[in-house]
Every structure is written in C-alpha cells, then in structure tokens.
Structure 1
Amino acid sequence: MINLVEIGNRIKTLRDESNLTQTKVAEYLSLDQSMIAKIEKGERNITSDVIEKLSRLFCCTVDYILSGATPEQKCTISFRTSSLTSDDLKSLATINKIVLNQFEMDKMLGGNVND
C-alpha cells in the first residue's frame, strides 16, 4: 500500500534540496500552496499527473517518489537566481525529462552513464 506520509516526506526533501518554496512548486503545478503543504504532510492524495510533473521537476524517477527506490543515476541542478518563474520551472522540467529519458535509454542498452 502507498504511504502518503513517506511520499510527502520525499517530495518535501526534494523541494528543500532544490531550494524551492511550496509556493513556487504550487505555481509550477497550477495548484494552491496549501495543497502542496497537505501533500507534503501526507494529508492529501496525489494524482499520477502531479507525480509525473514532480519527477520531471526534480529529475528523479516516479519510482523514487512513490517508493523511495534508490535511483541509479541522479542529476543535480544549481540555480544562480532566486527569482525563478513558473515558466523557468517548466523549461527545467522539460530538460530534466530529456535527461531522465537518456538515463533510461542507457539502462536499456546496458551502458554506463559515465562511459
């Protein structure tokens, strides 16, 4: 069974590691900030669409968000500004989707990301 509290904790950790506020994540997801707070506390169900968008934003697998499965690869992004817009986050999520797809292709081919 899915543990909403653990999922919420992982989302909060990912958000904190990315130095994003609940408000910024809410804007990116087109949700209210209070909904993000409730998701992080495990008080609200989370749709598959939101999970997919969060995996792209934080450049992690859906499996990691849902189960805490250790990712084989991880990408880290550093921001040089504190004034990111929702459009900036959408662009970042698109780039991260490409990165995640490349990780998956490398895995299918049995290759190593560092090759």
Structure 2
Amino acid sequence: MEANTKNIRLKQLRKESKITQEQLAKYLDVDQTMITKLENGTRSLNVTLIEKICNLFGCSDAYLMGEDDAYIPLNFAFRSNGIQAEDLESIAVVNKIVMNIRYMNEMMGD
C-alpha cells in the first residue's frame, strides 16, 4: 500500500462522518493544525491517536494504517453541526463496545 494511505483514510473517515477538523481536534485533544498535518502526511499518528480515531470511526487500526482493506462501517450517523468533543467521546465508547461484540461474534463463529 502507499505510504500515505493512513492520511487518505483519516481524511476520508472524517469527511464521510461530516466531522470538521476542528471537531476532530477537540476530540483528540490536539490543535486543529495537527489534524491538517496528519491528513497531509507531515505528522505521524501515535498509538493514543490511532486508538481514539479507530474507536470514533469504528475501524481497525490495520484499516486506518492501510494494512488491511476490510472495513465494515458501523451504522451510526453523525448529523449535528454542533457536535462537541464530549459527544464524540460518547460515540467512540459505543463504537468500541459494538466492535468488541462484533469481534466476539466472529470468534464464536456467529
């Protein structure tokens, strides 16, 4: 895969969810310019950011990093212009639970 796949995927996930760079920055507790740098490939993701991003968008770290193309989006709609970091935190927690249930079902063969 291309070295910049993770940057493209981060931007794609954010845009598909209709989340602004500013909203994502507040959720990740970073400056908005950091999101720009992550999306254009001039900064790298650290483990903490990868985990938070994957929880928010319901994807695996392998998908985000471009190591795997398997991605089954969770059916959770972002439809608020006024969404706050706290809202994104709640969404990420719910997504993490759903991803864990999905994983457990896969392990049990369901």
Q: Fold-level match, TM-score > 0.5?
A: yes
Corresponding residue for 1:47? 46
Distance 1:82 1:73, change over 3 A: same
Point out where structure 2 has 5 or more consecutive residues left out of the alignment.
Answer: none
Q: Stretches of 4+ moved more than 3 A in 1?
A: none
CA contact (8 A) 1:14 1:58 kept: yes
Aligned residue pairs total 110
Distance 1:29 1:58, change over 3 A: same
Aligned equivalents of 1:80, 1:16: Cα separation in 2? 12
TM-score normalised by the chain length of structure 2: 0.92
CA contact (8 A) 1:26 1:36 kept: yes
Corresponding residue for 1:75? 74
CA RMSD of aligned residues (A): 1.7
CA contact (8 A) 1:7 1:67 kept: yes
**Cα offsets for 1:50-75 (capped at 9, x unmatched):** 00100000111111101252336331
Kindly state the Cα deviation for residue 76 of structure 1 after the two structures are TM-superposed: 2.6
Corresponding residue for 2:20? 21
Q: How does 1:82-93 map to 2 (within 5 A)?
A: 82-93=81-92
TM-score normalised by the chain length of structure 1: 0.88
**Cα offsets for 1:70-115 (capped at 9, x unmatched):** 336331321342111110000000000001101110111111xxxx
